[in-house]
Amino acid sequence: MQIQFELLFIIVMDALIRRCAKHIRQAQALVILSGAGMSVDSGLPDFSGDQGLIKRLEKVEGDYRNIISPKYFEEKPEKFWYIYGDRYNQYTKATPHKGYELLLDICEKKKEYFIRTSNVDNMWARAGFDQERIYEIHGSIYHLQCHSC
């Protein structure tokens, strides 16, 4: 019974993948939505998993929202920059994985594509995607912004 279920699953998934591929080939434009899971295969932690960023920050200072607040930056700038520097180093050492390359190949064949990501690691741009088509909704670790502006 287990083997039959697995075979049925493979057949159904194959049909779904072929159908998706057909729609992608026919599409005039693509919008790719991504989050922290996209960078996991590049060796970066996800945001909320067991080894994720939230858990790591909470080990340092409790509720992670305190650490990412302007108040924390003002009251504990050394700790803030230590945490920021650790993340910056992680992100700059990581390299985009094969999935980015595969998606770039698909996107370059289209007239239009857009990337909307919650990631701040800049992997999409580093993988060769047009920066003008990347929307980093939480910003980027590579760009600082004045918190009082």
Q: Which positions are annotated as active-site residues?
A: 138
Q: How far is CA 6 from the centre of its chain?
A: 31
CA 81-85-88 angle, to 5 degrees, is 140
User: Which strands, in side-by-side order, build the sheet including 112-117?
Assistant: 29-34, 112-117, 134-136
